[in-house]
Amino acid sequence: MDWNIGVFMLNKTTKALIIIFCVGLVLRLVGITNAFPFIFHPDEPTIIRSALGVRFNLNPGHFDWPHFYIYLNYFIYMVFAKLRDLLSILNLKDVVYFTFPIIWDDKLIFYLITRIITALFGTLTIIPMYLTGKNLFNKKTGIFAAGAVAIVPLHIWYSHYALADIPMMFFASMAIYYCTKILFLKNTKNYLLAGFFIGLSATTKYNGVLVAIPLILAHILRVFSEKDEKFFRFEGIENLIYAGISSMIAFIIGTPYAVLDFNTFIRTDGPKGALWQFTNVGSVGFLERIKNFVNIIFIQFNENMGYSFLILFILAILFVLIRVVKTHKIFEHKDLLFLIISTLVLVYYMCGVAKTRSHYFLVVYPLIILAAVGFLETILEFTKFKYSKILLAVVFIVPLYFAVRTSFIFYQEDTRVQFYKWLSINILKNTTIYYDSGDLNPLFEDNKYKSKKVNSDSIIPINSIFVISDSVNNKFRLIKFFDNTLRKGPVINVYEVIK
C-alpha cells in the first residue's frame, strides 16, 4: 500500500515537473528568432564565430570568455552539418528547404542553434532547482523552486540569446545543490561534485567561480552547527582542498588553452587575456559599493525577478533575524541562513565593481529563489494557512505575467527590423540615409542603402532622410514613427529634411 502511494506521489511530482518544463521551454523559445536577419546584441557573435573557428584552430585565441560553451557549440554545429549533408544525400534538401529555409542560411542558422541550446539550458535549470529545494526543505518546495526559475523574467530574457550566462547559471545551480548537501553532511563526494560544477560554471563564464563562496559558507555553517566537528580539523580543510582541485580540473577540461596558452590567458592589456575581464569592470569605493548594494537588492532584483520573489526573500531575512533574537538559536533555520548569507556576501562582493549589469548577477538568482520559496513553505507550515492556494497564486502570478510579457516582447518584431522593411518599400535605394544612433549600424552594413552616421546637430542636406530616436525642430517633417512599446529596439523617428 505504501509503495503504491509512493509511486502515485512520484508520478504527481513528475507530471508537475513536466508541466513546468514545457511552460519554461515555451517561454524561452517564443521569439527565439527575434531581430533576424540582423544580430543586434554585440556579444552574440563571440560564441558563434569562435565556435565556427575551432574547425581551423582548436585554440580560439582569446580568453575574454572561457571556452567550454564555444567547444560545446562547435560539437553541435558539426553534428548539425553532418545531418544537413545527409539530407542532401537523401535528396530531401528541397523538401526540408521549403518548410525550414533557415537550415541552409549559414548567416543565421548557427545563431539559431546556439539560442536554442541556451534556451534548453535555461529550461533544464529547473532540475537542480527542484533537487535543491527538495534537499533543503521538502518535495513541495522543490516544485516551487522549479516553477519559480521557469518564470523569472530576466532569466527568460537572456535565455533568448546566444550567450553563456544562462548555461553558466545551470552549472552554478548544480554546484549549489551539492553545496546544500555539504551544509548537512560531511561527505568528500559532495565536495568533489560541488567543486566540479563550480569549475564547469567558471569555464562557461568566469563569474561562475563565485559559487565557491556558498561552498565555503556551507562548510563553515556545518562545522559551527555540528557539535562533533571542529573548524581547524584537517579532514574538513582537506575536503575544501579536494573541492578546489576538482574545480580546477573541470575548468581546464572546458578551457584547456588556459594552460596550453598560459601567456595569453594571463594578459591584462586587452580582451584576449582572461585577466583583462577583471580589470575592465573597474572598482568602486566603500560608499559607492553600499549604494550599488542597495540599488541591486531593492531595485534591480525586484524588477528583474518579478517582484514577489524578492519580497519573499526580504521577508525571509526578517523572519530569520526575529527567530534568532527570540529563540537565541542561530542555526534553527540553517537552510535559510545559508541561502541568505550566501546571497548577501555574493552581492556585496560583486557590487565592488564599477559595472553592475543585470546579467552579472544571474549567479545569485538560484540562492534568492530558493530562500524565497523556502520561506514561503516555512510560513505555510508554521501557520497552516487556510488559503494557501490563494497565496501561491498571488506569489506566482506576478512574475508569470512579466515572464509572458518578456516572451511577447521577443515575439514582436524589433523596431529596427520594422524600419528596414519600411525602407525597402518606401525609400529609393539611391537616397542617402542620415542617422545619429549606433543602434542602427547593422542595418546598413550590407551597403544596400547609402548611409552616413552623423551627430543630431549636423547639417543635413535638404530633401534627404534623417533617422533619429528623439524629436527634433521644425526643419524636419516626420514621415514615419516606430514605437518600441512591448518590443525590442529603440524608438525610431524618420524625418524628411525640408527648407
What's the pTM value of the predicted model, to 2 decimals? 0.93
Residue ranges of alpha helices (H) inside 296-387 are: 301-305, 308-327, 334-350, 365-383
Average pLDDT over residues 175-201: 96
339-371 per-position pLDDT tens digit: 999 999 999 999 998 888 999 999 999 999 999
Return d(Cα 188, Cα 243) in angstroms, integer: 8
408-423 per-position pLDDT tens digit: 999 999 999 999 999 8
Cα 152 off chain centre by: 10
457-485 per-position pLDDT tens digit: 777 887 778 887 666 655 678 889 999 99
Cross-strand bridge partners of residue 451: 433
Return d(Cα 199, Cα 221) in angstroms, integer: 22
Instruction: State the pLDDT confidence band at 21, using cuts at 50, 70 and 90.
Output: very high
Average pLDDT over residues 289-301: 94
- 168 contacts 125 by C-beta, under 8 angstroms: no
240-261 per-position pLDDT tens digit: 999 999 999 999 999 999 999 9
Q: Determine which of 74-78, 85-89, 257-261, 367-371 has the lowest per-residue pLDDT on average.
A: 85-89
pLDDT for residue 226: 81
Q: Is the pLDDT of residue 436 over 60?
A: yes
Q: How many residues does the chain have?
A: 499
Return d(Cα 380, Cα 378) in angstroms, integer: 5
Q: Is the pLDDT of residue 264 over 70?
A: yes
For the four alpha carbons of 469, 474, 478 and 484, in that order, the dihedral sign comes to positive
Residue ranges of alpha helices (H) inside 412-438 are: 415-426
Instruction: State the pLDDT confidence band at 269, using cuts at 50, 70 and 90.
Output: confident
Edge-first strand listing for the sheet containing 450-453: 450-453, 432-435, 465-468, 492-497, 476-482
- 206 contacts 168 by C-beta, under 8 angstroms: no
Closest CA to 243 of 196, 208, 203: 196
Domain coordinates in residue numbering, the chain: 16-25+117-411, 415-497
If you average pLDDT over every residue of the chain, what do you get? Answer: 91
Instruction: State the pLDDT confidence band at 122, using cuts at 50, 70 and 90.
Output: very high
Degrees to nearest 5, angle at CA 398 with 394 and 399: 125
pLDDT for residue 275: 86
pLDDT for residue 499: 61
